[in-house]
Structure 1
Amino acid sequence: MNTLPHLPTGTVYGTLLNFRREHALWAPRMNEAPYKAPPQAPVLYIKTANTFTSSGHGIALPRGVAEVDVSASLGLVAGEGGAIFGAVLFNDVAIPHESYYRPPVKFRCVDGFLGVGREVVSLDAIGGLAGLGALSLELRVHGVLKQTVSLADLVRDAATLWNDVNAFQSLRPGDVLMLGTDCLEDGTRPRAKAGDAVEVSATGFKPLVNVFVGEQP
């Protein structure tokens, strides 16, 4: 049996502003420059291959960074013919920064800054796309629950997001589309520092665990 940890084989796309709470917090500023209007299509960013970190492996904080944002997310994995093959847990890590609407790559694509779940779970195993909508993701730091993320709170549900993205770009087999990450009530995200063990879990998935460490000399 193959015991190698799962890592994405294609491009991983993140989605911004796809949870109702954060969308509502940013809505008053969406008419400001440079866009001067709310986004009409999904707002995407890329998590580059250097960010991928398997579950069970450490994530190093860059020198001078005391804490990072940690975020539970679920990724849809593309199969053949543009269909959704399955889903995988992620911990989308970023250096805290003021503007989430226009996220600088240097804060999101740091080495190791995407914790990747242990396996891709088939849609059938979790009740199909309808089952995804009933899922909740939990994020814990040292076993203490810091956030519960309900996929019922998406602006675009899984099927709608998948179709809207595929309307302007083709997702190839192995590509992954994250559904987005939610914020806390004050608009921030849970934080982790060196020594913290962060776990992302959901029913039907093996927990994703990464320990954050200080930058190695």
Structure 2
Amino acid sequence: MMNTIPGLPTGTVYGALLNFRREYALWEPRMKEAPYRAPPQAPVLYIKTANTFTASGNAIALPPGVNEVEVAASLGLVAGEGGTVAGALLYNDVSIPHESFYRPPVRFRNVDGFLGVGSAVLPLGDLEALPTLVLELRVNGVLRQRTALADLVRDVATLWTDVAAFQSMRPGDVMMVGTDCLEDGSRPRVRAGDAVDITAPGFASLVNHFVTEAA
């Protein structure tokens, strides 16, 4: 059943792994190890399932036993008719801290509510306007990370083209371009009581606060 809340995805949400240069460089030495023994030749994707969608302004609950989670700003491309990009939206990709980026565990990424979704899709007529975009992530009003799309391994247009080479993007599907890491390879972490605000020029702010899941 499709979501009817404005802004929430109506199709499948995909995310790209290892698509920022800093994180790719940190992982590149391990790409030569078993079982792959070589860098990936195509985009490495994962799925955020529908149970994760949380509209901007709503709370995201930490499940029992989890004291903190990682948060990450991302830009999502919303598919239109005929495999085109209809627009873009800000996302807060939440996960329980984990090490694997080759096969991201579903139980760490797809917890209920673990994808903050911006409130309004920005129509796009030209993907070439996006390479200079910078996303800012603040926790409790303090700037914790700036994510520049100029640092993508595959820029927005290339990622969309490369994914379309092996799968169709149906109207309403979303392709998140990836999330950057901090200098040490980690991502900003938050606890219950914290608020996260993600902004980018031209986009409505994405705000979520974090709470402890009710018993």
- Please indicate, yes or no, whether the TM-score normalized by the shorter chain is above 0.5: yes
The one-letter code matched in structure 1 to 2:130 is L
What's 2:172 paired with?
174
> Could you state the TM-score of these two structures normalised by the residue count of structure 1?
0.96
Contact 1:5 1:55 in 2 (8 A): no
Deviations 1:89-115 (A, max 9, x none): 000000001222321010000000000
How much does 1:130 deviate?
1.9
Contact 2:74 2:177 in 1 (8 A): yes
Q: Runs (4+) of structure 1 moved beyond 4 Å?
A: none
> Could you state the TM-score of these two structures normalised by the residue count of structure 2?
0.97
What's 2:43 paired with?
42
How much does 1:66 deviate?
0.5
Runs of 5+ consecutive residues of structure 2 not aligned to the other structure: none
Contact 1:54 1:117 in 2 (8 A): yes
The one-letter code matched in structure 1 to 2:189 is R
How much does 1:139 deviate?
0.3
**Aligned Cα RMSD in Å?**
1.1
Deviations 1:25-61 (A, max 9, x none): 0000001111111000000000000000000000000
Contact 1:53 1:59 in 2 (8 A): yes
Secondary structure class of the residue paired with 1:40:
coil
The one-letter code matched in structure 2 to 1:73 is S
**Aligned-partner Cα distance in 1 for 2:5–2:153:** 35
Runs of 5+ consecutive residues of structure 1 not aligned to the other structure: none
**Aligned-partner Cα distance in 1 for 2:5–2:101:** 34
Identity of aligned residues (%): 73
How much does 1:4 deviate?
4.8
**Aligned-partner Cα distance in 2 for 1:7–1:176:** 10
What's 2:129 paired with?
131
**Aligned-partner Cα distance in 1 for 2:115–2:168:** 23
**Aligned-partner Cα distance in 1 for 2:65–2:159:** 37
